[in-house]
Amino acid sequence: MLTTLLLRVSPRRAGAVVERNVLVHRRGWVVLASGFFEPLLYLLSLGIGLGALVGRVPFAGESVAYPVFLAPAMLAVQAMNAALTETTFNVFGKLKYMRLYDAVLATPVTPLELALGEIGWCLARSGLYSGAFLGLMALLGLTPSGWAILAWPAAVLIGFAFAALGMALTTFLRSWQDFDYVMIIMMVMFMFAGTFTPLGAYPAWARPLVELTPLYHGVTITRGLSLGHLDLAMLGHAAYLVGCCILGLWVAARRLGRLLQP
Amino acid sequence: MTAAIAAPGRGALHVFAYHLIGYRRTWWGTAFSSFLLPLIYLAGIGLGVGGYVDRGHQLGVDYLSFLAPGVLAATGLSIAIDESMYRVYSQFAWDRTYEGMLNTPLRIVDIVLGQLAFVVFRALVAVTVFLLVMAAFGTVHSGWAVGVLPTAMLLALACAAPTFAFTATQHTDSSFAVLTRFVVIPVQLFSGVFFPIAQLPAGVRVLAWLSPLWHGVEVCRSLTLGTPRWWPVLGHLGYLALWAAVGLVLAHRAFRRRLVV
Amino acid sequence: MRMIGCVSPPSAGSLHILGLDAATHGPAIRSRLGVVPQQDSLDVELSLAENLTVYARYFGIPRQVARDRAAELLKFVQLADRADSKVEPLSGGMKRRLTIARALVNEPDLVLLDEPTTGLDPQARHLVWERLYRLKQRGVTLVLTTHYMDEAEQLCDRLVVMDAGRIVAEGSPSQLIARYSSREVVELRFGLDDLAGPAGAELVKALEPLADRIEALPDRLLLYTDDGDAATAAVAARSIEPTSVLVRRSTLEDVFLHLTGRTLVD
């Protein structure tokens, strides 16, 4: 069903939705820049400051310095945060308060084109962050392997997965109060999705829960690439993220249609 | 009419009560930022990363005991600042509650003091709950620990009052996101909450000394670990009191400018 | 309105707009429509000109064309000097005019206006009416809903009165007045006590022969007649003394109230 819908999408109209966002953010560069700084600050504080106390942590049979271990995770977190804030907070504002989508859907633009446009913008934005962050990691000497360059497209995939899931989630939110739940989800993933510690450090009962989070799969990919530990399991992790993209898009397009065209 | 304001402070009390009534309805909505978020930090960093830190024995105490009072102080700060941005702004710009208050015998000083008292109260509730959780985790090592409650209140006031002043000068809500990301988060990350500021490069360390949070963290940590030394503690508290006092003056002036002139 | 705009599916029956089936040709129909919703849905993060160009892009209109049209339309709605300002500081009337300009950006064959002047002050309303009248002169079809009978009288060639979702009358304003009302109306104002209870009923009865129809309100009696002055003289002759007398021409408002009743519908 999604594929037949996708075939009818006009890239030009979805592109117009992206254009609108570009236009708005040409002026709001401070907000854009802050999305880049936040994970950098976490990296400097927890990776390097706290990292000095942590020393080395085990990874794939050897031990790596904590900042090297943490940096690729922050890359994944950044992709998640950028995607989720854009598709939850910003999209919700446009949906409920600015009535922007009512106006957009009075034109030939369809709900799916609208969703794809918003996600496309979100990816462009998070791709920009990821690229800059990855460059910074390399500068700081936190990318031991040349494979790290592939962490960029990986970060974009992570962004896509969370953008699609975020769009879907937003269609279920009722008021700003509900954003507390979004924040909880983001925070719990940030803290417990294998970002700060290897999976082995979690108690056995918690590990399957950790493995359920999309962020865990994202972190595993970026960390493996950054440290040069490639294996076939990575394809599985990537497949999980692709699954999230499809599920999110499908739900988002259906629900947006139902919300805006009752 | 004059009877209502005859006793100074009575007006502020009414304003405090007004915010308290609102809180009765919305406290559940704030439960996440007040109670859950600090716990997530404590568990995620303290238990997770803490295991690796403790192997190094560099701190002299277990990492959880080191981290917990830091997170406690940081919670006081973040609640204080959160409550002083959008909530205050909306009362100027959207709900116009302040205008309504000024149509009664209330004075500017009542509005400012009453709401600041409420912010401090919010911080106190959160910090008290957190202290109990700390005790359950076995990270409270001394009876001095109750001293963190008034310390966190002073810290909250020291952060809230200048933020009130800042908010009163704003005519759009766009600068709050910037303030959060470029001031609040860096302050929380580099004020000795997660690691001793001795680890910081000398230039950044000076900035940490300026931040009220570092002073709050130092006092709270020495109290829960049971190692307070009086002169440094008094110095830290004095610094916080200075922030609070200057903040109050600025907030009062900014409110007057916004509402009266 | 949402159904005609092809935003909501038809609730029952079939709906054809511009010769296309609304159920299957949504995007194709929407590309030829201009919509002025009841509540402004302007993009507050963009300037006036950008509101128009971005909206044009949703129709797939090339950038340069969009820019030219935006400039031209801003001039048409008399907002050219505010092109680079943001939406928020605009007055209600300006926002309405911008919304109307936005609805024209795709050069639509049909413009839907949902209560276009609700909430505007008299000057702003007249400016909007004047612009809409110009559009009509250019041959653009306007479909508008309104609660203001003077607005309908000003703008409409053909008008449909709806009550509780059903059409109760249809025609040009003058036809409707001729069909459902008299030429003139005499408004007799009385004290509230005079019209209450049996005294009021008696009064109505006494006046009945003087008019085609009488409408009794709590404070007034409306006499529908073709000759208001004659009716006024007849009232005086019967030594009935209202506190004030007003003779006026019948309006669409009288038609509307006659057709849909005076009971307050919320």
Helix residue ranges per DSSP H, chain C = 26-30, 48-58, 63-76, 92-103, 122-137, 149-155, 173-180, 192-195, 197-207, 228-237, 252-260
Q: How far apart are CA A49 and CA B199, in angstroms?
A: 6
Look-up of token digits 């509730």: B125
Q: Which residues from chain B sit within 8 angstroms of residue A57, using beta carbons?
A: 52
| Residue in A53, A188, A190 nearest the CB of B58 | A53
Per the CB < 8 Å rule, is A53 touching B41?
no
Contact in structure between C213 and C182 (CB atoms under 8 Å): yes
Least confident of A242-256, B214-228, C140-154: C140-154
**To the nearest whole percent, how much of chain C has pLDDT over 70?**
94
| Residue in A12, A16, A261 nearest the CB of C7 | A261
Average pLDDT over residues A80-86: 88
Q: Give which of B27, B78, B195 to mutate to test A binding, by max A Cβ within 10 Å.
A: B195
Residue B4 pLDDT exceeds 50: no
Average pLDDT over residues C114-134: 81
Q: How far apart are CA A11 and CA B51, in angstroms?
A: 51
pLDDT of residue B1: 39
Residues 6+ apart with CB under 8 A from C77: C97, C98, C100, C101, C131
Distances (CA, A) of B154 to B77, B112, B126, B157, C65: 10, 16, 14, 5, 61
Coil vs helix vs strand at C84: coil
Per the CB < 8 Å rule, is A103 touching C41?
yes
Per the CB < 8 Å rule, is C26 touching A19?
no
Q: How far apart are CA C107 and CA C59, in angstroms?
A: 11
Contact in structure between B211 and B77 (CB atoms under 8 Å): no
Two structure tokens written together for C38: 């009841």
Look-up of token digits 């803490």: B50
Contact in structure between B148 and B142 (CB atoms under 8 Å): no
Shortest Cα distance, chain C CAs vs residue A14, angstroms: 8
**To the nearest whole percent, how much of chain A has pLDDT over 70?**
94
Q: Which residue has the higher pLDDT, A7 or C254?
A: C254
Average pLDDT over residues A51-64: 86
Residues of chain B numbered 49-78 and touching chain A (CB < 8 Å): 49, 51-53, 55-56, 58-59, 63
pLDDT of residue C59: 84
Give the model confidence (pLDDT) of B12-35 as tens digits: 888 888 888 888 877 777 777 778
- How many interface pairs between A and C have CB atoms less than 8 angstroms apart? 68
Q: Which residue type sits at B223?
A: L
| Architecture of the domain whose range is C31-156 | 3-Layer(aba) Sandwich (3.40)
Count other C-beta atoms under 10 Å from residue B4's C-beta: 12
Residue C94 pLDDT exceeds 90: no
The partner residues of C249 in beta bridges, in order of sequence, read: C184
Per the CB < 8 Å rule, is C37 touching A10?
no
Q: How far apart are CA C156 and CA A154, in angstroms?
A: 60
Count other C-beta atoms under 10 Å from residue A90's C-beta: 18
| Residue in A31, A49, A188 nearest the CB of B194 | A49
In SS3 terms, C16-57 reads as EECCEECCCCHHHHHCCEEEECCCCCCCCCCEHHHHHHHHHH
pLDDT of residue B6: 45
Contact in structure between A228 and A144 (CB atoms under 8 Å): yes
Average pLDDT over residues A160-188: 87
Q: Please check whether residue B47 touches A, CB under 8 A.
A: no
Average pLDDT over residues C47-60: 85
Residue B246 pLDDT exceeds 90: yes
Shortest Cα distance, chain A CAs vs residue C113, angstroms: 12
Look-up of token digits 């000095």: A52
Per the CB < 8 Å rule, is C54 touching A260?
no
Q: Which residue has the higher pLDDT, B49 or C190?
A: B49
ipTM above 0.90, yes or no: no
Residue A221 pLDDT exceeds 90: yes
Two structure tokens written together for C143: 């479909």
| Residue in C39, C50, C58 nearest the CB of A107 | C58
pLDDT of residue C55: 86
Q: Interior CA angle at A188 toward A49 and A48, to 5°?
A: 10
**To the nearest whole percent, how much of chain B has pLDDT over 90?**
50
Contact in structure between A43 and B194 (CB atoms under 8 Å): no
Contact in structure between B139 and B131 (CB atoms under 8 Å): no
| Residue in A19, A98, A109 nearest the CB of C44 | A98
Contact in structure between A96 and A236 (CB atoms under 8 Å): no
pLDDT of residue B8: 54
Least confident of A73-87, A162-176, A215-229, C183-197: C183-197
Average pLDDT over residues A9-35: 76
* C171: confidence class by pLDDT, cuts 50, 70, 90: confident
Residues of chain B numbered 178-197 and touching chain A (CB < 8 Å): 178, 181-182, 185-186, 189-190, 194-195
Average pLDDT over residues A199-215: 88
Q: Please check whether residue B94 touches A, CB under 8 A.
A: no
Question: Could you tell me the sign of the dihedral formed by the alpha carbons of A242, A245, A248, A251, in that order?
Answer: negative
Residue A50 pLDDT exceeds 60: yes
pLDDT of residue C221: 78
Q: Which CATH class is domain C182-249?
A: alpha beta
pLDDT of residue B164: 93
The DSSP line for B82-151 is: HHHTHHHHHHHHTS-HHHHHHTTT--HHHHHHHHHHHHHHHHHHHHHHHHHHHHHTT---SGGGGGHHHH
Per the CB < 8 Å rule, is A30 touching B178?
yes
Q: What range defines the domain where residue A136 resides?
A: 29-260
Could you tell me if residue B226 is left (phi over 0), alpha (psi between -120 and 50 degrees) or otherwise beta? left
Q: Among all residues of chain B, which has the CA nearest to that of A34? A: B181
| Residue in C33, C54, C60 nearest the CB of A13 | C60
Q: Among all residues of chain C, which has the CA nearest to that of A94? A: C43
Distances (CA, A) of C201 to A222, B133, C205, C216: 88, 79, 6, 9
Residues 6+ apart with CB under 8 A from A122: A82, A83, A86, A87, A159, A163
In a domain, A6, yes or no: no
HSE of C128, CA atoms in CB hemisphere, 13 A:
25
Two structure tokens written together for C8: 């909501």
pLDDT of residue B5: 44
- How many interface pairs between A and B have CB atoms less than 8 angstroms apart? 88
Per the CB < 8 Å rule, is C45 touching A107?
no
Two structure tokens written together for A20: 């609108």
Could you tell me if residue A126 is left (phi over 0), alpha (psi between -120 and 50 degrees) or otherwise beta? alpha
Residues of chain A numbered 172-201 and touching chain B (CB < 8 Å): 177, 180, 183-184, 187-188, 190-192, 196-197, 201
Distances (CA, A) of B29 to A182, B5, B96, B152, B242: 13, 34, 22, 22, 32
Q: How far apart are CA A32 and CA C112, in angstroms?
A: 38
Coil vs helix vs strand at C213: strand
* A93: confidence class by pLDDT, cuts 50, 70, 90: confident
Question: Could you tell me the sign of the dihedral formed by the alpha carbons of C61, C62, C65, C70, in that order?
Answer: positive
Q: Give which of A45, A74, A192 to mutate to test B binding, by max B Cβ within 10 Å.
A: A45
Q: Which residues from chain A sit within 8 angstroms of residue B29, using beta carbons?
A: 177, 180
Chain C partners (3+ C-beta pairs within 8 A): A
Average pLDDT over residues A190-205: 87
Q: Where are the domains of chain C?
A: 31-156, 182-249
Q: Among all residues of chain C, which has the CA nearest to that of A107? A: C30
Query: What's the whole-number average pLDDT of chain A?
Result: 85
Look-up of token digits 């005076």: C262
pLDDT of residue B162: 95
Average pLDDT over residues C224-239: 76
pLDDT of residue C264: 47
Q: Among all residues of chain C, which has the CA nearest to that of A12? A: C60
Two structure tokens written together for C20: 């296309």
pLDDT of residue C119: 74
Q: Among all residues of chain C, which has the CA nearest to that of A23? A: C46
Per the CB < 8 Å rule, is B56 touching A55?
yes
Average pLDDT over residues A191-216: 89
Two structure tokens written together for B9: 């402070």
Into how many domains does chain A fold?
1
Q: How far apart are CA B116 and CA B128, in angstroms?
A: 18
In a domain, A2, yes or no: no
Give the model confidence (pLDDT) of B61-103 as tens digits: 899 999 999 999 999 999 999 889 988 888 888 778 888 888 8
HSE of A177, CA atoms in CB hemisphere, 13 A:
9
Q: Among all residues of chain A, which has the CA nearest to that of C54? A: A20
Query: What's the whole-number average pLDDT of chain C?
Result: 79
Max mean pLDDT range (A47-51, A134-138, B155-159, C172-176): B155-159
Taking the CA atoms of residue C249, residue C251, residue C256 and residue C258 in that order, the dihedral angle to the nearest 10 degrees is 10
Q: Which residues from chain C sit within 8 angstroms of residue A32, using beta carbons?
A: none
In a domain, A3, yes or no: no
Q: Which residues from chain A sit within 8 angstroms of residue C54, using beta carbons?
A: 16, 19-20, 23
Give the model confidence (pLDDT) of B164-196 as tens digits: 999 999 888 778 888 888 889 999 999 999 999
Least confident of A243-252, C5-14, C105-114: C5-14
Shortest Cα distance, chain C CAs vs residue A166, angstroms: 22
pLDDT of residue C265: 46
pLDDT of residue B2: 43
